[in-house]
Amino acid sequence: MSKLQLLKGDALKLIKQIEDKSIDLILTDPPYDDVSNIKTPRLTDMQKKTLSQEFYRVLKPTGSIILFCGFTDMFKWYNFLSEKMIFKRVLVIVYPPGRAPNKNFIASHESALFFVKTEKYIWNNYKPHDTTVYYTYRPRGNMRGVGTEYRGSGTEKLRTTPKPLKLIKSLIKRLTPEGGVVLDPFMGSGTTGVASVSLNRSFIGFEIDSKIYEHAVKRIKQQTTLHNYII
C-alpha cells in the first residue's frame, strides 16, 4: 500500500530522518541562485554539497535523481553530484520567449540534471520514448492556465516555480517501479506529490514555507481520495 509523508521544515534537517537506500527517485526543484522573486531562501554551496551527499545516501542502488537548476547553479550541482553519482543527461524545458533582458539573450528554457547511483538504475521501457526536450507554456504571465500543466499550483499567489505535471508524471513512470518511493525535499506547490499519488507511488515531501506547505498538502490530499493511501 502506498504511503504519503508531507513534512514542514528544513530539507537539510529532515532528510537526515530518511533511511539509507530507501528512495527510488529524488525529483526536486531547489531554489535557483539566479531567481529573485521566489520566497524560499537560496542554498549556500556548502548546503548543496551536503544535500548531494545525503541524496547519494538515501537512494537505492537502482535509484535516480532529477534535479532542476538555474543557469548559474547548474554547474555547482553537477560538480557536487558527480563526486559519487553517474551523470546521464541534461533535460530541458522550453518555453515561449519572454521579455528581452538588457544586453543579454532571452531566456526560454530551464534545465534539469539526470544522475543515477549505479548503472543498475530502473528504466521502464514503453513508448513513446522520452527525449531531453519538453515544450510547454510558462507558468506565469499571459499564457498561464493554458491546459492542465499548472492547474492548482498557485504560482502567481505563492511565487513558486512549478514544473509541468505531464513531464513530472512521465519521469516518475520511467524511473520508478510500481509502488516505488519518490522524494521531493523542496516540495513547493506539490506537483511531484500530485503526480506520485496519481501513479500510486509513495511520496515524501518537505517544504519550509508555511503558506506554500499548506497549499501543497491540500492539493496533494485531494488526489488521495481517489487512491488507497496511508497518511
pLDDT tens-digit profile of 126-168? Answer: 888 889 998 887 665 544 544 556 665 555 555 567 789 999 9
- The mean pLDDT value of the chain amounts to 87
Torsion of the alpha carbons at 137, 142, 145 and 147, rounded to the nearest 10: -50
* Domains of the chain from N-terminus onward: 2-230 (3.40.50.150)
Q: Across the chain, how many H-helices and E-strands are there?
A: 7, 9
Please give the full DSSP string across 41-53, using - where no structure is assigned: PPPPHHHHHHHHH
Q: Residue 63 in 3-state DSSP?
A: strand
Per DSSP, which regions of 98-176 are E strands? 109-116, 133-135
Cell readout for 43 is: 542554498
d(C-alpha 121, C-alpha 183), whole Å: 16
- State residue 142's pLDDT score: 46
Res. 231: pLDDT tops 60:
no
Instruction: Give the sign of the dihedral formed by CA 146, CA 170, CA 5, CA 42.
Output: negative
Dihedral angle over CA of 28, 208, 98, 96, nearest 10 = 30
Please state, as a whole number, how many other Cβ atoms lie within 10 Å of the Cβ of residue 180.
22
pLDDT tens column, 26-37: 999 999 876 655
- The answer to whether 206 and 180 have CB atoms below 8 angstroms apart is no
pLDDT of residue 37: 58
**Bridge partners of 46?**
none
Return the sign of the alpha-carbon dihedral for residues 135, 140, 146, 147. Answer: positive
CA distances from 88 to 112, 116, 134, 207 (A): 11, 7, 17, 28
Contact 149, 165 (CB under 8 A): yes
**Omega into 128 within 30° of 0, i.e. cis?**
yes
Pairing of strands 202-207, 181-184: parallel
The answer on pLDDT for 89 being more than 70 is: yes
Q: Give the pLDDT confidence score for residue 149 in this predicted structure.
A: 65
